Amino acid sequence: MAQGQMVPGIVSGRLSSDELTSNFTDLHPPLAPHEAAVAADRCYFCYDAPCVTACPTDIDIPLFMRQIQAGQPEAAGETILGQNILGGMCARVCPTETLCEEVCVRETAEGSPVEIGRLQRFATDSVMVSGDHPFQRAAFTGKTVAVIGAGPAGLACAHRLAMLGHDVVIHESRPKPGGLNEYGIAAYKSTNDFAQAEIDWLLRIGGITIETGSVLGEGLSLDGLVDNYDAVFLSIGLTGVNALRAGGEDLTGVRDAVDFISDVRQAADLAELPVGRNVVVIGGGMTAVDAAVKSKLLGAENVTIAYRRGREAMGASRYEQDLAASHGVRIMTNVQPIAVHGNGAAAEIELEYTASHDGQLKGTGEKTRLPADQVLKAIGQTLEGAPEGLTLDGNKIAVTGAGRTSVQAVWAGGDCAAGGDDLTVTAVAEGRDAAMDIHASLIV
């Protein structure tokens, strides 16, 4: 964070340690057993339940609701984890308001859905607290698979392959496994180092080795991996960030929102983490909301999300938008950045109002300026370092079926693969399904 400390307006210690601790407590406190039983009792246990169809991992939601209602939370947890081995994290970060809860019959009838996300957390936490791992590893098949990237897709793929009896080596470029779950999730959504606790629990299946600091393209090649392993699963994520394409982007104080979020996640002491007095976040997705809310929680006085289209087009759900507003974040829509102004360091941002004409977004010529000593870019990420020889679909790896790439014995899933939503739960589903396809190809 040396970059931030060079800007007069970006300082640490805006709030006391006690205030910061209070600000970064659990966004949704866990349910007590009685609360969970009452909440689960609201489920209608629908046949052909729409919530199941809306879940990317196809969790049998009515079944785990009934298990909670019957006083069997660990059985409910096993039902969830059998489909989504990272069900604990997904319960904390999934946009359930636009997935399972949005189509809940209670939501349709009453405007108040069953609290599926919180109940999923209650069930999966019950399993993890018990200390047992509910899945048994099959006898070793003699096959070894390389997984590149220890994010949600890679971990889900590795666990399912290990459970089926294959040995798995995960090559992870960063010092810690977890990917987005470890480095990119808002700290108030995943507290108490939950990401690493979940990984430690997942690894109890056995048969999985994680090698950190192992980077594709730096000592690892796709050809070498194909030669040395029976199959390869790529879950390398999206590590590049789109350019702002506005003047002053190189000024001190302008940085990527994903890096800012990572700094907050990895900070040993939040009181030492610098934040601007006037923060502007460019973008309209969940990363933008997370960065904006974190800035407020760290003590920024004025935080604005600036998005080039209308609210209805924002990638962040209405719930996330309301969450930002509840923390005092201003949301400006139909504005795009023209320039960041300052003498070596950001001081103001110039925005132009936009309008849509025949489906094309254009500037109106009307402009405004906001004070901005810190500008965070949350305008989408790009694939960097894709191995040569792979066919791309736009800016992602092209896949068919359950993640098969154009290279024999190589699969891909998660954010780096084309076709799916950039969500943790979708990545888990893709990793799990790829593992099943890899397994089928290895045992023929």
Tokens, residue 311: 């609210």
- Which residues touch 280 (CB under 8 Å, ≥6 apart)? 303, 304, 305, 306, 349, 370, 372, 374, 375, 376
CA nearest neighbour of 285 among 306, 262, 260: 306
- The pLDDT-based confidence of 421 (bands split at 50, 70, 90) is confident
Q: Confirm if 381 and 285 have CB atoms less than 8 A apart.
A: no
Residue found by looking up tokens 């023929």 in the block: 444
3-state SS, residue 255 = strand
- pLDDT tens profile 64-88: 999 999 999 999 999 999 999 999 9
Q: Return the exposure string of 160-193: e unless at least 16 CB atoms fall within 10 Å of the residue's CB, then b.
A: bbbbbbbbbbbbbbbeebbbbbbbbbbbbbbeee
3-state SS, residue 196 = helix
3-state SS, residue 7 = coil
- What is the sign, positive or negative, of the torsion defined by CA atoms of 250, 251, 252, 256? negative
What does the pLDDT average to over 51-69?
97
pLDDT at 7: 63
Q: What angle do CA 398, 399, 405 make, to 5 degrees?
A: 90
What does the pLDDT average to over 113-134?
94
- pLDDT tens profile 341-375: 999 999 999 999 999 888 889 999 999 999 999 99
Q: Confirm if 93 and 189 have CB atoms less than 8 A apart.
A: yes
Tokens, residue 392: 């791309």
- Which residues touch 433 (CB under 8 Å, ≥6 apart)? 402, 403, 413
pLDDT at 3: 41
> Is 195 a residue whose pLDDT tops 90?
yes
- Which residues touch 406 (CB under 8 Å, ≥6 apart)? 389, 390, 391, 398
- The kind and range of the H/E element at 258 are helix 257-266
- The pLDDT-based confidence of 2 (bands split at 50, 70, 90) is very low
Q: Confirm if 373 and 278 have CB atoms less than 8 A apart.
A: yes
- The pLDDT-based confidence of 36 (bands split at 50, 70, 90) is very high
**How many C-beta atoms surround the C-beta of residue 435 within 10 A?**
30
- Which residues touch 201 (CB under 8 Å, ≥6 apart)? 128, 133
Distance between CA atoms of 251 and 254, rounded to whole angstroms?
Answer: 6
Q: Confirm if 246 and 277 have CB atoms less than 8 A apart.
A: no
- The pLDDT-based confidence of 39 (bands split at 50, 70, 90) is very high
Tokens, residue 229: 């392993």
Q: Domains along the chain?
A: 2-24+242-377 (3.50.50.60), 33-130 (1.10.1060.10), 144-239+383-442 (3.50.50.60)
Q: Confirm if 195 and 178 have CB atoms less than 8 A apart.
A: yes
**Quick one: what percent of the chain has pLDDT higher than 90?**
85
- The pLDDT-based confidence of 6 (bands split at 50, 70, 90) is low
3-state SS, residue 347 = coil
Q: Confirm if 145 and 232 have CB atoms less than 8 A apart.
A: yes
Tokens, residue 56: 């990317």
pTM: 0.93
Q: Confirm if 302 and 275 have CB atoms less than 8 A apart.
A: no
pLDDT at 357: 86
Q: Confirm if 381 and 415 have CB atoms less than 8 A apart.
A: yes
Order of strands, edge to edge, in the sheet holding 254-256?
Answer: 254-256, 374-377, 278-282, 302-306, 330-332
- The pLDDT-based confidence of 217 (bands split at 50, 70, 90) is confident
Residue found by looking up tokens 């949600």 in the block: 152
CA nearest neighbour of 135 among 193, 187, 206: 206
